């Protein structure tokens, strides 16, 4: 029975040391992996207007779900919708006016 207890204690101590080392690395800003997300044109256009997804979708006369598909890169806007997105990106005030 003492063998099991020793193995369990040893494993717990190793885990504790690994966790402590991880905390030290985080504090030193040593990251094992850095993920960068690129924002697509649809997201940039919506963000430039300051609108929520629901507001932006309403201004473009599309469903919120369609907008989410575009923003997540699962689908792409059609030619006409791409033009509207570009206009929204360059002239966000036009889309805000469309909702007023």
The interaxial angle of helices 41-49 and 92-99, nearest 10 deg, is 60
Q: Are 42 and 67 in contact (CB under 8 A)?
A: yes
Output the pLDDT for position 98: 77
Report pTM. Answer: 0.63
- Domain that residue 83 falls in: 41-99
Tally of domains within the chain: 2
User: Does residue 47 share a domain with residue 25?
Assistant: no
- Count other Cβ atoms within 10 Å, centred on residue 92: 18
Residues 87 and 55 in one domain: yes
Residues 6+ apart with CB under 8 A from 3: none
Residue 5 has pLDDT above 70, yes or no: no
CATH number for the domain spanning 53: value is 1.10.260
Distance between CA atoms of residues 24 and 68, nearest Å:
39
Q: Residue 4 pLDDT > 80, yes or no?
A: no
């Amino acid at each position: 029975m003492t063998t099991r207890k020793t193995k369990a204690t040893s494993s717990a101590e190793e885990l504790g040391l690994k966790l402590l080392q991880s905390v030290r690395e985080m504090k030193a800003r040593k990251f094992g992996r850095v993920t960068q997300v690129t924002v697509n044109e649809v997201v940039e256009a919506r963000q430039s207007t300051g609108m929520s997804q629901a507001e932006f979708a309403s201004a473009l006369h599309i469903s919120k779900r369609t907008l989410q598909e575009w923003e997540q890169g699962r689908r792409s806007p059609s030619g006409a919708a791409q033009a509207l997105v570009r206009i929204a990106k360059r002239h966000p005030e036009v889309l805000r006016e469309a909702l007023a």
